Structure 1
């Protein structure tokens, strides 16, 4: 048995999914990245500084034995964005996503270079993107909006962002692909291992039990309505949960905004579960939170990115969740 297989079977086969993921990440980071690349999450990234066209970036990555960065899950994207925000001041980076006009019939018209779909909407795209401008067939990420995705022309200029798998045991890479897939189509909630059906009137949305009551009112009233039905205002504690819920609301043609279960408590936001909500979370629309607001809202005009709002506003509905 190779050393990595022993490591995975002895260290990473038990415990919560979160702890197993931490063990996998630690195992990967015990391997080495190529010279000039940085460990971020489970990948190695080359972070360029010079502006160049998309093709020049593609050729540079190829010369480095890498490919253009494909941020195929919101977790990957969030980890890399946080790294870039603290380790570079470069505004724009090319990423390996392209518009495939042969798939005009499909909701997955944008694809990563691996062929995996890049679904439009939060938390990866900025809320006004893609704007489908002329020849906007490629993509970059933009610092001013926490490195969310914009569409662009191939001839535009940005810095280059390349990625490669860490050097090391092939078994580990195969194992991670099987059990921690990077396809955006495989995004699931951290609670998706629940097998008990959601109680009525809640319904299952990728492992979360959610319900939208016939209600519009203030945040306190919304919370009371949810509690009367056996739940509470929803807690979207990961970018995966946010992505799944936002996409579900779009599919259901939701046309209003929704209170979530977090509010400002003496200078920081806290979920109703007691967990903190960081101001830099991918859940937020990048310009928020604002200092004068107080309660968390999934804001319909911003494609269900979260904003803060006056807690007494009465124009929003409630997004309720049943907690097991």
Structure 2
């Protein structure tokens, strides 16, 4: 299969071109009208940065990660497969640019191609060019204008030691101090942070007063959001090894009807509830999450909001 030729530059002296070494290349936290931080450019709903320096794959990975030092979001080599609109926009941008760019995929020891976020890359994915991947010794991936069409770009396997430009992608917001990332969100768990127990309202007031990046706010944690994995979220947001009743962002709205803080209903038949709950006692006006060691599952229970308990805060994007 025809392999494209790439111009190379010596690695010596490259550090002077790296964005974290040259403050003129990056203006910290400057948000453009597109919603992307400078120097990232919008492509569909994503934010991307195309380097003007060629480097090997490992250095490209560090190059992108280094951009995060001056920005509010995590930064990686670009990855495909999350959003078809973003994928198509990125491929078209490579066509328009006419150059090759590293992306964040690599073949592992088991010969399985994997994105840097851990997702598998299948050899029948539509972004591979015909007969790709086709070289056993090529363990990394580039996007390159098609060898057979001037109007399309595809992914090719490539020698990791080759020198190619990098395309970086801004990903999740970086979690503030005290928060941890679980799936797509940042959470602050009171127990690992050695915070005192609070009533439900005190816990909510504490969460809402937390300092978070511009464009975000904090509140008690909720479940069932569109980009949350329902089963894994309820089992993962509690600190590992802790078995304490913990406040989350749900409350009783009417006699025996519960809601999340964002206004969504929390139906009585939801699988989140423990068996025979909600109990709907006279004073059971708020909701706790509790991890049962007996079945290694977390469930919801209605409880008395004036009781002091641990709590979990969550960071949300403003809309």
TM-score (norm 1): 0.39
Structure whose CA Rg is larger: 2
Which structure has the higher relative contact order (CA within 8 Å, separation 6+)?
A: 1
Bigger helix fraction: 1
TM-score (norm 2): 0.40
Bigger strand fraction: 2
